[in-house]
């Protein structure tokens, strides 16, 4: 995937964090915590806070516990 296609093929495109919470039937505050974890993890790959959050949001669309699971796996 190219950088350009990333911005046009985002899983979370047009979704708010609240939308993602509703999709997975999870508590909004729990998802906020996951997003904070995710932004820190993804920030290792970019200097852009916005880009890090977008990548994290895409992962949360797939799995609302993505970063908790990543941490438990030691990754």
Domain assignment present for 31: yes
What's the total number of domains in the chain?
A: 1
d(CA 7, CA 47): 16
What is the phi/psi pair of residue 74, to 5°? 75, 25
Domain assignment present for 8: no
DSSP state of 47: S
Contact in structure between 30 and 68 (CB atoms under 8 Å): no
Q: What is the pLDDT of residue 34?
A: 96
**Confidence label for 7 from pLDDT (cuts 50, 70 and 90):** very low
In this structure, what token pair is assigned to residue 20?
A: 């993602």
Tell me what percent of the chain is helix, strand and coil, each rounded to the nearest 5: 70, 0, 30
| Domain around 65 | 15-72
What is the phi/psi pair of residue 7, to 5°? -75, -20
> pTM (2 decimals)?
0.81
Say yes or no to pLDDT of 56 above 50.
yes
């Amino acid at each position: 995937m190219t950088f350009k296609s990333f911005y046009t093929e985002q899983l979370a495109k047009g979704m708010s964090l609240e939308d993602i919470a509703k999709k997975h039937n999870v508590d909004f505050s729990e998802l906020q915590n996951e997003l904070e974890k995710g932004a820190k993890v993804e920030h290792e790959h970019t200097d852009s806070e916005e880009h890090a959050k977008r990548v994290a949001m895409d992962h949360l669309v797939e799995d609302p516990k993505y970063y908790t699971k990543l941490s438990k796996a030691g990754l």
